[in-house]
Structure 1
Amino acid sequence: MANMRTAMDAAFWDLNISTPRVLDGTARSIPGEPIPLDGTKASRALRIQQLSLLGNGFPLGIIPSFSPTNKELGSFALQSLLFKTATSNWWLAFTGQFRPKKLISDIKTDLSNVDEWELPVLKDIGKHFLEKSLYALGVCAQLSLTPSSSLLLSTEKHGEKRGPRSRAMLFHKLPDHDITLEAAWPELYIDHKGRYWEVPESISLDCSSLVSENGLRYRFGLHKSSGHPRAVDNITDEPPHSLMQGICGKAALSYEKSKDFWRIKEKKEDVIIETDKGRIYNPSYDIRLREPHAAVSGIIGGTVEAWLKNGSNSSSDSRHRSPFGVDLFGSLCYTFQHGKFRKSFGDLTRVDARLDVSSASTLAKQVSKVFREVSADDARDVLSSPRLSLILQQQVAGPIVFRVDSKFLLNSPSGRPGVQLEDFLCSLNYSLKLLQSGKVVAWYSPKRKEGMIELRLFEF
């Protein structure tokens, strides 16, 4: 079923969303905004690791992607792992990206003006290959400090942009908790409208518990933002309040529960088939999709946060941000699955319907406005309406599944009752049986006009 933990993680600063705009393949969801589509969550595998494995299935190890950029460079890009070296406790790798549109158009222009082939003509054509805006280069290194601690360092530079983008992450695993210290210069965020923002400096210290058997989970941490957020796509709107500079302490607690209405348990004869030639091992293409069932799951929780200003009052937005906040959130999901995803055809149809309330306080304010003639506060209306997310998965053939993620706003922008499509994403998923629950995902977002190919592992 849809990942219920996203309901709480969306309130923090480290929820990764897949994007081809940067070489590491991720942007942060803006905390305090509506829960992102389940299909947009980035893979837990690092992008550099994905390119290493995906390259085995693509010609010359080159992976295509699409993302809007200036018209000269075009949206089509090619990514590849250039070099990798590793030992028992560390590895280092280089990735590259190439945008061919400008190169092809410039060469065509030169060739159309050529009457005779001479050496200067070839030199002029060769100069186009040295155009910095065509390329991007990334370096990533990971070092295992102890059996339970690791340090990740990465930086990337795009030729058409001024400065590099750098990140450092220190991860420590405890028996029942994960501790993460992260810093980025700058950090890339994406809002619920699919627009990108850059924060010059972002530092977070976070402690997260594992989900216990009784369904309880909690998180707490500190976050510091420095500098004024900048719109990547020349947006004229004011930056989201949660991205403005300052220090924030936040804690959250949630309770998660699920119940089956019915479920067909996997049996030994489903996995091991007796034939004239002997026994054949026939597992499901994905162990998470091996049992037909109908179930309902839910999560409810609360957050508390406190903001400290960073010594700057230059932004009027900072004055409107509440220094202290308490809120409740909740999600309810119904899942129906037909088929065991084991046969070559017609063995998987699955629907997840999930209702999200990201902020109970703003929802209550919106309900109260129905009985009063008060204009809505645009800055708070983002969370004032529940969202309904629908996920449809249908087997095409063998391990290939077509998936559609959609999200509907259950109130119109004016606050009146109504249903409005807010976002959707289409993808083809190729399940890797040997990895039990790994898959190659090719997705496209019409709203963001972006698409990429990912390797997703450990999605359970």
Structure 2
Amino acid sequence: MATNFWNQDSVSVKAPNITGRTLPGCPEPLKLFKPSGLDRSVQLHILQRFLHVPCTPSFSQSSGGVVVDRVMAHFGHKEWWMSSTLRTRAQSIWSQRHDEEAKPLLDPEMYGFETHGRTSLGRDTVLTAKAEFDSLTPLVALVKPNHPAVVESTGTLGETLRRHARARATLRGKIPLHEVTAEAAINERCVDAAGGYWDLPESLSLDCTSKFDRSPLSYRVGLQKRRKVRTNASCDEEPERCIAAQAAVQVQHKACFWRRAAQAATPKGTATRRPPYGAVLETPRLALDMGVGALLSCPISSGVQDRLVGIKGVSVGQFGHLGATLQLGSFSRLLCDYTKVCVRLATGAPPADLSAPLGNSDELRRTSAHGEAMRRDATIGPRLANHTLTATLSQQIVGPVRGRMEARFSMDPMESNPSASLQQVKVMETVYGVDVCLPVRGAMRLVAWYSPTRQEAMAEFRLLES
């Protein structure tokens, strides 16, 4: 159900905070692309303070190769905290050195900056906010307008800010059996179904999600206002503001066809096997999960008459998924004691006017990691897939070390003939990873991954994940 809305988090190495958003209608992020339970700035602060790691490297081809992040300031209290992170494009600096080896070090384009904060506004309400800059050029322009990098940059200060700056504030609160989220974002970085990056100029959203314990029924309602850049709009024309209202309901069910029996105990009452390397680990099993749902959507224009027309044009879509999981081994022996295979088929998508809030203007194309490879005549870049197949394989290598591979396939036929579906299956996104269960009772893992699709790689800690 979350795939039909607008605020799914996805890992993005392009950002110092390592977080982006998926576009509405894009599939759920692959598991390795889902954010960890520990904020990136907190991870960096722990590495610097307790393990004395001066900076943390990651890789992004679109950012020049290897980049390093370091927390410059971190302070707070039990009710709030704030952190600031500096990003350095180390490989770009090294590759651009010439006779004047120190010149790239003084180029503000070689650095990025991010500040992130969180505060509690009561027992059940949390406010988070972040602001980030892909380049320090806008900040340098405020202090030193005659700096060579500022003089060489094209456009006014406002245009420079639109190219390099982005911000987001999120207010999340809990009410009985529900969670309410209000969010405002400027220049939000989004990831599409094929791993390309886009910037949504501005967005406001409000949605309410059900939180029923052990209930197969869930629902979500939301309202979003965004700036839509039209395909045929001129540069001087004010972009259209559009409002989208959505409501979705879903029923899910999980069934376990086989589960390994509980461990036998010795006469002394102790288990015959050693504890598993991971603390959060499901028992070996063969399980099936499925879900079906419906989506009610209504695009509303800014004018009163257009709004009435939009309400009359309410559309209904269906979506569903079917998944199977097979796990063998208990992950307690040194070798060949853990294999997990997951397959998930998802179908259905929201109407095109809600899943394609972006135009094909240069303003939105500039952040794409594969801009030249995209079809120039597409309205939103790569096609949003209505039917996808996701496959995950996880295998123990030795001891607490496991290898993981994830891939997503598009199964949308290019023709109306259903028999053409098999001929149009193609890989949308792949990622390879390795994780190591750390000796803290297996509750924390060190995960490293590489995505040939996005041409990105990074390592991070993850809490309480299997």
TM tier, shorter chain? 0.7 to 0.9
Number of the residue aligned with 1:303: 295
- Paired residues for 1:129-208 under 5 Å: 129-159=105-135, 162-163=160-161, 164-208=165-209
Q: Which amino acid aligns with 1:261?
A: F
Q: Is this contact kept in 1: 2:26–2:385, CA < 8 A?
A: no
2:341 corresponds, among 334, 337, 351, to: 351
1:457 aligns with 2:453: no
Amino acid at match of 1:298: M
- Corresponding residue for 1:294? 286
Q: What is the rounded CA distance, in whole Å, between the counterparts of 2:79 and 2:50 in structure 1?
A: 27
Residues 183-210 of structure 1, C-alpha deviations (whole Å, 9 max, x = no match): 1111111111221111111111121112
2: CA distance between counterparts of 1:244 and 1:393?
46
Instruction: Flag the 1:397–1:146 CA change in 2: closer, same or farther, 3 A.
Output: same
Deviation track 1:153-202 (CA, whole Å, cap 9, x = no partner) reads 21112226632211111111234222111111111111112211111111
Q: Determine helix, strand or coil for the equivalent of 2:26.
A: coil
- Using the alignment, how far apart are the partners of 1:411 and 1:166 within structure 2? 35
SS at match of 1:200: strand
Aligned residues: 400
2:113–2:136 CA contact under 8 A, matched in 1: no
2:17 to 6, 24, 38: 24
Shift of 1:454: 2.6
Rounded Cα–Cα distance in structure 1 between residues aligned with 2:16 and 2:350: 37
What CA deviation, in whole Å up to 9, does each residue of 1:245-293 have, x standing for no partner?
A: 41111111111111111112554859x995xxxx999533334434111
Distance 1:329 1:22, change over 3 A: same
Secondary structure, counterpart of 2:35 in structure 1: coil
Deviations 1:15-61 (A, max 9, x none): 11111111221211111234443332222432222323455687624
Aligned twin of 2:144: none
Deviation for aligned residue 1:403? 0.6
Q: Aligned equivalents of 1:361 and 1:197: distance in 2?
A: 20
Distance 1:88 1:402, change over 3 A: same
Match of 1:214 in 2: 215
CA contact (8 A) 2:385 2:411 kept: no
Amino acid at match of 2:117: A
Partner residue of 2:387? 386
Separation (CA, whole Å) in 2 of partners of 1:194 and 1:149: 33
Q: Does 1:444 align with 2:436?
A: no
- 1:344-367 Cα offsets, whole Å, 9 max, x none, are 3211101011111134999xxxxx
Asked if the contact 2:57–2:67 (Cα under 8 Å) also holds between the matched residues in 1, the reply is yes
Q: Is the Cα contact below 8 Å between 1:98 and 1:136 reproduced in 2?
A: yes
> How far 1:389 moved relative to its partner?
1.2
> What CA RMSD, in Å, does the superposition of the two structures yield over aligned residues?
3.5
Match of 1:3 in 2: none
What TM-score, normalized by structure 1, do the two folds share?
A: 0.77
- Residues 47 and 53 in structure 2, CA contact (< 8 A), matched pair in contact too: no
Q: Say yes or no: does 1:102 pair with 2:103.
A: no
Cα distance between partner residues in 1 of 2:51 and 2:415: 48
Distance 2:272 2:440 in 1: 15
Question: One-letter code of the match for 2:204?
Answer: I
Change (3 A) 1:96 1:349: same
The verdict on how the C-alpha distance between 1:183 and 1:458 changes in structure 2, with shifts beyond 3 A counting, is farther
2:194 is matched by which residue type in structure 1? K
SS of 1:284's equivalent in the other structure is: coil
Contact preservation (8 Å) 2:4, 2:350: no
Partners of 2:228 and 2:242 within 8 A in 1:
no
Taking the aligned partners of 2:298 and 2:71, their CA distance within structure 1 comes to 42
Rate the CA distance shift 1:82–1:360 in 2: closer, same or farther, 3 A: closer
* Structure 1 residue 343, shift from structure 2 partner: 2.2
Aligned residues of 1:273 and 1:282 also touching (Cα < 8 A) = no
CA contact (8 A) 2:265 2:272 kept: no
Q: Which runs of 5+ in 2 are unaligned?
A: 138-159, 233-238, 353-377
For residues 206 and 268 of structure 1, do their structure 2 counterparts lie closer, same or farther at Cα, with a shift above 3 Å needed?
A: farther
Which residue is 2:421 aligned to? 417
Paired with 2:296 and 2:35, the residues of 1 have a C-alpha distance of: 26
Task: Look up the match of 1:86.
Answer: 76
Check conservation: 1:305, 1:324, Cα contact below 8 A.
yes
Aligned-partner SS, 1:91? strand
CA contact (8 A) 2:82 2:116 kept: yes
Q: Percent identity?
A: 29
Question: For the Cα contact (< 8 Å) 2:172–2:180, is it kept in 1?
Answer: yes
Q: Is the partner of 1:434 in helix, strand or coil?
A: coil
